[in-house]
Amino acid sequence: MNDYIVLIPLLIVVIAMLNRSEVFSKKVKYIGYGYFLIVSMIFIVLRERIYAQYHKGSPIPDIYWEKN
């Protein structure tokens, strides 16, 4: 979870910018909030999957260590 501390200020800045903007209607603001939250969640989930896949052990089976 410590890896995602940087995302919190980034999301706060994006939400603050969307919230203060008078150019966008409320509907567009809500779409923007949802978009950034969904993209952040996808990023976290995929990063965790990649980390779990490559840090659970050696990606090369033991049989091939002799050849290497």
Q: For residue range 3-60, what is the model confidence (pLDDT) as tens digits? A: 888 888 988 998 999 999 899 899 999 999 999 999 999 999 999 898 888 777 666 6
Quick check: 66 pLDDT over 80?
A: no
pLDDT at 60: 62
pLDDT at 33: 92
CB atoms within 10 A of CB 15: 15
